[in-house]
Structure formats: structure tokens, C-alpha cells
Amino acid sequence: MFRIVNKKKLNDTVTMMDILAPLVAKKAEAGQFIILRVDEEGERIPLTVAGYDRTAGTVQIIFQIVGGTTMLLDKKEAGEFIEDFVGPLGVPTKTEGRKKVCVVGGGVGCAIALPVAQKLHEAGCKVHSVIGFRNKDLVLLEEEFKACSDKFTLVTDDGSYGRQGVVTLPLKEEIERGERFDEIIAIGPLVMMKYVVATAKPYGIPVTVSMNPIMIDGTGMCGGCRLTLVKEDGTRSVKFACVDGPDFNGYEVDFDEAMLRGGAYETFEAGERERVCNLFAKESR
Ligand code: FES
């Protein structure tokens, strides 16, 4: 059993918890994930490590309430216990040797992007963060991103907070202004990552994307996180986000196929996917 030592609501649908799990905390790195079960009868769900405190032995998770298990988890309070908490799993995000990186986060994907930005910052890398949300009510982790960023931009689709627009807008402006990023690391909805890649491509900037949004059970068995990689020479290969990732070279990911297959697992309400796709397409013209 694993004790919840801290719980905080970040907005109406997103909750943060610190879980006492010293062995996981000892080894966890940015980009990795854990699998938990709320109770003995519960399903396993993968959640990305949003932070860790090796001294306190805690691992931070941030989750969106999107179904039965996350609803059940959200009912737990600090001091209560969850049944299983296994990890760290997956390959950590590569941060070594980077001098200047743009970290792009969208929605609850910012919870995964934050520890990456923090790790880069701690290693002395210059970090530009661009984070985007649908509206003001959904904004997460603003102060935390500011604290680890040399430059910080927040956008909302409707302009209710920060700058109006999608993340690719300031990203493109920064690149066109002459910012020389060693890499762009993008974590958020598939459509956002697809357009971040499209924005960076004319400038040849490497893009790493996290395919975390298509993971279901995180065990390599359900097949839900299968994705196709297409190399420059057209060679295709099949990978699994939970086994081979979650990070991949953004230029190789077949996002269109992933969106068709992953549509059921992303947390868009009816009609929302189309609206977001149109927004990004418009900004990228
Ligand atoms: Fe099920 Fe990867 S999440 S196979």
C-alpha cells in the first residue's frame, strides 16, 4: 500500500498528488511513468511522473479526471492509501548536453513537460517554455514553469488569459527571430505535437515528442499505444509508446495514423478535436 502524503486540486478536472514510494522516487527521471491501481479490484493505469523528491521519498503525479479510475483516485484524500504504485517505467527524456531547448506543453501534458523543463534548467540549459490551454480555468503550473524558464509564454485558445492563440504561434515567432534551439520537446495532445513538428521542420530543429497520450494500460499488452514510425527513406516500423518510449523523434511519428487510432483515448469532448485541429491548421498557414 502506498500513502498519499499530499493532494491538491489544480483545477476542476486536474489533481496533483504526492505518493510515498521511496524506491520509485530513488530512480525516477523526467519522462518516465508509473502504473498504479487504486484498490485491489482496480484497473491499472499509467501516469507520467510529474516530479519526485528523493529525500522525502515521494513521487508526484498529476492526473485529469477522465474515467472511472481517475474518478476513484480523485476521491482519495491525503493520508489515505492506494493499492499499487509501480515504476519508474519507460525511457527517461534525454536532456544531456543541451544548451538551449524550447519546451512546449499543452493542457495536462504540461504536467509531463514541467519535470523535463526543470531538469534542463538544473543542468544549466537555457529553457524557453511555451504552454497552452483552452481557457483561463484550465491553466496549470504557471508559476512552476516560470521558475525554471529563461523565457516563458502562456497562450489560451480563447485569449481569456495570456496571449491568444495556439503554442505554434509564439514558437514560430521565436524561431523566426533567430532563436537557435538545439531541440524542441513537445508534450500535449497529438494534434499539437503534429503541428509543433510541422512548425520546426522548415528550420531543421530536432523535435522530441511524448506519445504518452495514447497509452492505456502501460504494460505492452493492450496494444493501445502502438504507433508507426516512418524514417526519412520511407522505412516503416511499429513501436509501442509504453515499451519503446514514451519519447520519440517527432519527425518519424505518423501522427495522422496515431490520431485515427488514438482518438478514443484522448480526452477531447465531442467536436473538440475538430475545433483544435482547425485552430492549429489556421495558425500554421
Ligand atoms: Fe498498452 Fe502500451 S499502453 S501496449
For ligand 1, atom 1, which residue shows the shortest CA distance?
A: 222
What's the pLDDT at 265?
45
Which residue has the CA at smallest separation from atom 4 of ligand 1?
Answer: 220
Q: What is the 206 CA–ligand 1 centroid distance (Å)?
A: 26
pLDDT of residue 266: 56
- Residue type present at position 51: G
* Structural contact between residues 60 and 114, judged by C-beta atoms closer than 8 angstroms: no
Ligand 1: residue of 34, 69, 86, 217 to mutate (most ligand atoms within 8 A of CB) is 217
Helix (H, G, I), strand (E, B) or coil at 91: coil
DSSP line for 20-87: E-HHHHHH--TT-EEEEESSTTPPPEEEEEEEEETTTTEEEEEEE--SHHHHHHHH--TT-EESEEEE
DSSP state of 145: H
Q: Which three cell numbers stand for residue 36?
A: 498504479
The reported pTM is 0.89
Spacing, Cα 222 to ligand 1 middle (Å): 5
pLDDT for res 127: 98
Q: Please state the atom number of ligand 1 nearest to the C-alpha of residue 241.
A: 2
Q: Which residues line ligand 1 (CB under 6 A)?
A: 215-225, 240-242
- Residue 276 pLDDT: 67
Q: Provide the pLDDT for residue 62.
A: 92
Contact between 103 and 204 under an 8 Å Cβ cutoff? The reply is no
Ligand 1 mean position, distance from CA 215 (Å): 5
Q: Ligand 1: distance of its center to the CA of 243 in Å? A: 8
- Whole-angstrom CA distances from 262 to 14, 47, 109 are 21, 17, 15
Distances (CA, A) of 128 to 46, 167, 177, 204: 28, 12, 13, 18
pLDDT in tens, the chain (285 residues): 999 999 999 988 899 999 999 999 999 998 899 999 999 988 889 998 999 999 999 999 999 888 889 999 999 999 999 999 998 998 898 888 899 999 999 998 998 899 999 999 999 999 999 999 999 999 999 999 999 999 999 999 999 999 999 999 999 999 999 999 999 999 999 999 999 999 999 999 999 999 987 888 888 888 888 999 999 999 999 999 989 989 999 999 999 888 887 654 455 555 666 666 776 776 666
CB 185 within 8 Å of CB 92? no
